[in-house]
Amino acid sequence: MTSNTKEGVIIRSMVLEDYENVKLFMKKEYFTAEPLCKSSGEAVHLQNEKENDAINISMIAQGTSLLALDENDGGRIVGFVLAGAELPEDVERNCRIAETLEDNAWGRIFRIIAKAEHEANIFERYGISKALYSHVTCVAASMRGKGLGSRLAATLMDLGRSRGFPAMVAYCTSFYSARQKEALGMQCIYSLDYTDYKDDRGRVIFTPAAPHTTLQVMAIKL
C-alpha cells in the first residue's frame, strides 16, 4: 500500500518490526483511554499478554494494519489501527475461546465482543464469506480531535477495497469511535447497552463513564 502524508503525519502499512513500539504506545494511549479498559480499574495491558500479542501480530502479518507517524516530531507514533480478515469460522472459534477465559477485564472484554460478533452476524446479513475487521484504533491524546482517527479508518477502507474485501466491520466500545465511523458512512448493525449486559447474578459487568453507554457494531460494504 502506498503511504500518504497530510500535515506532516504519514500513514503507512504496519510491519512486524513496528510491534514493539506499537505495544508501548498501546500501554500509554489505548489501555488508559478505551472505556472498558479504563473503567475496569485493572492493569489490562498485563492480562492475557501472550494471547493479545498473538492476535495483534497475526493481523500485522496480513499487511492490513496501519501506522500513523508524525514526521515533524522525529517519526513519533501518533496513531494506529490493527485490522485483519475475519471469517465465519473465526466468530465461532471466538465464542468457544470466550467460554474458557478467566474472569479478568481482558476476558470480560473478549466475551462481550464475541457475543456481539455472533449476534451481529455480518456474514449472513451481507451474504459474504469474509470481512475486514477493524480491531483496535488508537490516536495519541495530543492528536485527538484533529481527524486522524477518521483518516486512519478511511485509509483502511481503501486498503480493504484494494484487497478485495466486500465489507469492513468494527466493534466500537466507545461512543466517539462509533460516531466517527458513522460519519464515514458505516452503519450500526447491532448494539448492546452496557446496562443490559449482566453476569449470572444479575450485576452489570461494564460501567464506563458517559457517553460510553453502548457497544455498537459498525459495518460498511466496500
- 10-residue averages of pLDDT along the chain (222 residues): 76 97 96 95 94 96 97 93 97 94 94 97 96 96 90 96 97 95 97 96 96 98 96
Cell of 71: 514526521
Q: How far apart are CA 131 and CA 160, in angstroms?
A: 9
Burial zone of 147 (CB within 10 Å; 0-12 exposed, 13-18 middle, 19+ buried): middle
**What amino acid occupies position 219?**
A
Domain ranges of the chain: 4-221
The answer to whether residues 217 and 190 touch, using CB atoms and an 8 Å cutoff, is yes
Q: What is the pLDDT of residues 76-116, one digit of tens each?
A: 999 999 999 999 999 999 999 999 998 999 999 999 999 99
Specify the CATH number of the domain 4-221. Answer: 3.40.630.30
Burial zone of 143 (CB within 10 Å; 0-12 exposed, 13-18 middle, 19+ buried): middle
**What amino acid occupies position 70?**
D
**CB atoms closer than 10 angstroms to residue 154:** 14
DSSP state of 204: B
Give the phi and the psi of residue 211 in degrees, each rounded to 5. Answer: -90, 20
